[in-house]
Structure 1
């Protein structure tokens, strides 16, 4: 078994968790059927592994859309707050290496890559907020335009006062209440 495969027990447990979440939150994916989503997952075991990584870091992945052209289902982290297992991380490897003292254990870009997921864009983050109220106490790093990153900054979002805000910070910063949310197409 390679490191990107789930045991049959993990496979079954994850599918059950995803199905339960899917059925409990139909407002996130109106008109979609679990059976079709499950068939797509069964045919893409590496993607199932990535969803398990999202689940293991408390992301609570769920279907938030379906691309008709490609037939792909779109999963986002739907935990109420930024996933607990992905907090206290700076933005990228360059930011991590630039810190002289008190370095965090990891960075967002490397973690997302290792998990096989993409960091949410600002637009995706705003779409997520249309199906619920997320990050009311935490914040989440989002993809950052190259010109901002080149100048040392990175973007993050949260929801306060019933409004979604986009902020900036030095890419090397990290906080216990800031993590990141991912997306995965299956």
Structure 2
């Protein structure tokens, strides 16, 4: 039983069925993202990993539209990224991390990208993963997404974000404490 303020990390049978249905439809509709993979194998892996299924539910609930974008050849794990056209709506207006959030004296955002990702059980995309996602379609044409920032840049107060404009993927920097209505983050999850 969960405590009053604790979030249950288990889906109900109805939630599981609904999520698997959504993921299957998205998988079939976007075969270009995973030409060599079969849904039955992915579904079996998901059903065997209820904690990961919960994380995918959180990705979906916050507007990420997660989909399979590949498979790790060494571990056999399937790789899911947020594939929503724009940065997920339920994860915007956040600064980069807890340190940045605490450094703001006023007008603090409600959360940080790193804290939200950790709570969801996902990782922020790296710049390399973000560029790989952009090979599968055109994402963040009107929004931008925080990406995992190298320690050296972060130690100097900065953080990186990416978007796509003029048919080109751009990587920018900002103070980690900044936040904007059109900037969120995209997550990745290995199952």
Q: Which position in structure 2 is the counterpart of 1:16?
A: 21
1:60 and 2:65 are equivalent in the alignment:
yes
1:169 to 159, 171, 174: 174
CA distance in 2, matches of 1:68, 1:174: 37
Report the alpha carbon displacement of residue 21 of structure 1 after superposing the two structures with TM: 0.2
1:28 and 2:33 are equivalent in the alignment:
yes
Q: Summarize the alignment of residues 113-152 of structure 1 with structure 2, pairs less than 5 Å apart.
A: 113-152=118-157
CA distance in 2, matches of 1:166, 1:122: 8
Please report the TM-score for the alignment, with normalisation by the length of structure 2. Answer: 0.96
Instruction: Structure 1 unaligned segments of length 5 or more: list them.
Output: none
Classify the secondary structure of the residue corresponding to 2:160. strand
Report the alpha carbon displacement of residue 67 of structure 1 after superposing the two structures with TM: 1.0
Q: Which position in structure 2 is the counterpart of 1:49?
A: 54
Q: Which position in structure 2 is the counterpart of 1:96?
A: 101
Instruction: Structure 2 unaligned segments of length 5 or more: list them.
Output: 3-7
CA distance in 2, matches of 1:41, 1:104: 33
CA distance in 1, matches of 2:111, 2:185: 12
Q: Which position in structure 1 is the counterpart of 2:5?
A: none
CA distance in 2, matches of 1:177, 1:17: 26
CA distance in 2, matches of 1:64, 1:51: 14
Number of residues paired by the alignment? 186
CA distance in 2, matches of 1:41, 1:94: 34
CA RMSD of aligned residues (A): 0.7
Please report the TM-score for the alignment, with normalisation by the length of structure 1. Answer: 0.99
Classify the secondary structure of the residue corresponding to 2:85. coil
CA distance in 1, matches of 2:125, 2:47: 24
Report the alpha carbon displacement of residue 68 of structure 1 after superposing the two structures with TM: 1.9
**Runs of 4+ in structure 1 displaced over 3 angstroms?**
none
